[in-house]
Structure 1
């Protein structure tokens, strides 16, 4: 394919605005991910507490993801996404405010961090489910490459911004900057038209449980949940372990951590765009498994890294692994999910896949306190298990139309 394919994607009405909104919110997410770890290390100097904070910033959202999906299908996506971005800005501003006011305590911090996770499924699943509704099916690989590239681009931009602000003005100011970006995402989204009218529904709890049931009974979505969540444990461990390795053992600072995440993002962007250009249809399982093995190799290199240059090489390989993984994951999920279930199925599927990150960070803190090489080695093992699960649990071929109707009816 040539560059015209990507021009065609940006020629789709509403796609550029959605892409800009997603970019702003994901830059804020990348800043939040690093700023939170730096904030906890700066204020409390505890890797274990940093791991717990990352866990609580994501895990509670997993529990309400089914409800978020049902709300998206019932009430439309745009209004709820705007509310999510505004709520995130308020919570982050509150966390920075209590820190600047000298009122911060560990329990209060953990309560605010937990609150930030409760609306996130609406924004994340809303954006991801809007893409295939707005973009024609034949452009999905290109749109997903842009989406994945935007996600990795946020690492290039977001993590260094957070690192530099934290190094110059303190991690609390990185939280303030993150809140501003969430507000910018909400402003861009104002006036965007939902591609489908909201669907009247029955009882919210029943619809939420239907979304969970649909994903768990769906062979592809169930296999993705097992494989991707297992591999994401490695990513969760790295979120906590990398800053500790760089700052406490290699003489670096917060800005260096941000630059390393940016390097990973650049590699991921290049790999994602190349994958989108080549296409993934029919090869998604293989791309997912090979990407996870690349992640395992990169994390093993981090276990042995004793210089910043060695860390830079490892995170570059990590980025080259993550880019194709995202494109294959997004495309496979879209191709094998009934559009009528996009909101509920995507919310549940996304957060099941993502669940490895908070759990990885939760176990990463104690592992890092014991041994940084041990933490990375355990992470590499999880990535290998994810690759094996992907190849064994995800069906080779798409479910038949009759099977998909049965899943929806069940």
Structure 2
């Protein structure tokens, strides 16, 4: 719910797409900056504790955003501070969940486990935006933020009963050295480096979508219903993503990840432009669902390729840094779209499509695997 609710919150408070884009940027980038440090902490304390830290911190800062909105304190500087603090623990949760799976399933079923995980997450993509649209429409964005904070708090409580999985990294090596090792590993391994570049370009498309779609809907519907329509569109996109992920797990992407990703990115580019941009509201709806279907195989392939090519003792650092780099395109796309959409909505969708075309080219340029064993880090 959070990113969509944040955009709707800012549009309701300040009627500024540009500010919405930059706040989305601020909600992600600080976490990207601290991701190498977060990765070392994850490898040391284990994924269970790392995810719990993220849930508690997120609940606190989102509740503060809600409270500031209700009390009339939600000025842009205060919102920037709160969303930046929210972002700092993000790598622990995002990388912690992806570090957990390879420790629970056999290697030959990893792509199926990733597919099921993404499909389950797609339920959140369906329920979350729909709830955001309904709650913002009926109760206001402050209530939606409070609901998100309660969700994070509930998740933290549930995690208190999950068995603790210990960290695998040595505590004898200095924290700084392990941080630098993680950065070197991602930057020097051809597969990890290529995935960081290509997927970050792909997420530029989704960053543009999250700003452009609410503006598109607002231009076609009354103010009283545009948030609800936006939520329904994202719900349909989430359903499509779950279907795509389950299909990817069924056909098995192992060994074909690069080809699956490149093809999916090209189809996503077509979904953004001309489909979503040139054919009115129906084109937008079909384009979003098509992009959602493609996001499943793309993400399953990304996770499987990265997990099977990484040493388990370094997986926390690799996942934290890689995920942060991968999603770097999202806030960049949102920030650019927040400015571009005020000039031309069509050009904004063209930008989204172009980003996915470049991402497909970058993916195809990743060297193919010569075997299924983890690459030797060039340290």
Following the alignment from structure 2 to structure 1, what is the Cα–Cα distance between the partners of residues 239 and 105?
A: 25
Which of 246, 260, 270 is the equivalent residue of 2:217? 246
Can you list the C-alpha shifts for 1:191-211, whole angstroms capped at 9, x where unaligned?
322444453142222211210
Unaligned runs of 5+ in 1: 1-30
What TM-score, normalized to structure 2? 0.96
Q: Which moved more, 1:269-278 or 1:196-205?
A: 196-205
Task: Please name the residue that 1:291 is paired with.
Answer: 264
Following the alignment from structure 2 to structure 1, what is the Cα–Cα distance between the partners of residues 371 and 221?
A: 50
Matched, 1:151 2:121: yes
Following the alignment from structure 2 to structure 1, what is the Cα–Cα distance between the partners of residues 117 and 143?
A: 28
Task: Please name the residue that 1:219 is paired with.
Answer: 190
Task: Please name the residue that 1:386 is paired with.
Answer: 359
Task: Please name the residue that 2:369 is paired with.
Answer: 397
CA contact (8 A) 2:40 2:178 kept: yes
Following the alignment from structure 1 to structure 2, what is the Cα–Cα distance between the partners of residues 295 and 166?
A: 29
CA contact (8 A) 1:133 1:195 kept: no
Structure 1 residues 284-323: aligned runs within 5 Å: 284-300=257-273, 301-307=275-281, 309-323=282-296
SS in structure 2 opposite 1:253? helix
Task: Please name the residue that 1:202 is paired with.
Answer: 173
- TM-superposed deviation, 1:405: 3.5
Which of 305, 324, 328 is the equivalent residue of 1:351? 324
Matched, 1:108 2:78: yes
What TM-score, normalized to structure 1? 0.89
Task: Please name the residue that 1:66 is paired with.
Answer: 36
Unaligned runs of 5+ in 2: none
- TM-superposed deviation, 1:108: 0.6
CA contact (8 A) 2:277 2:283 kept: no
Following the alignment from structure 2 to structure 1, what is the Cα–Cα distance between the partners of residues 345 and 138?
A: 27
- TM-superposed deviation, 1:238: 0.7
Following the alignment from structure 1 to structure 2, what is the Cα–Cα distance between the partners of residues 185 and 345?
A: 25
Following the alignment from structure 2 to structure 1, what is the Cα–Cα distance between the partners of residues 198 and 110?
A: 22
Aligned residues: 375
- TM-superposed deviation, 1:139: 1.7
- TM-superposed deviation, 1:250: 4.3
C-alpha RMSD of matched pairs (Å): 1.5
- TM-superposed deviation, 1:281: 1.0
Which of 46, 54, 57 is the equivalent residue of 1:76? 46
Following the alignment from structure 2 to structure 1, what is the Cα–Cα distance between the partners of residues 78 and 167?
A: 40
CA contact (8 A) 2:188 2:377 kept: no
Q: Which moved more, 1:109-118 or 1:244-253?
A: 244-253
SS in structure 2 opposite 1:202? coil
- TM-superposed deviation, 1:306: 2.2
SS in structure 1 opposite 2:368? coil
Task: Please name the residue that 2:301 is paired with.
Answer: 328
Following the alignment from structure 2 to structure 1, what is the Cα–Cα distance between the partners of residues 155 and 144?
A: 17
Following the alignment from structure 1 to structure 2, what is the Cα–Cα distance between the partners of residues 220 and 335?
A: 11
Relative to structure 1, the CA distance from residue 114 to residue 399 in structure 2 (aligned partners, 3 Å threshold; closer, same or farther) is farther
Task: Please name the residue that 1:18 is paired with.
Answer: none
Which of 326, 339, 342 is the equivalent residue of 1:366? 339
Relative to structure 1, the CA distance from residue 209 to residue 243 in structure 2 (aligned partners, 3 Å threshold; closer, same or farther) is same
Structure 1 residues 250-261: aligned runs within 5 Å: 250-251=221-222, 252-261=225-234
CA contact (8 A) 1:40 1:49 kept: yes
SS in structure 2 opposite 1:193? coil
Following the alignment from structure 2 to structure 1, what is the Cα–Cα distance between the partners of residues 323 and 111?
A: 18
CA contact (8 A) 1:36 1:54 kept: yes
- TM-superposed deviation, 1:248: 2.7
Task: Please name the residue that 1:276 is paired with.
Answer: 249
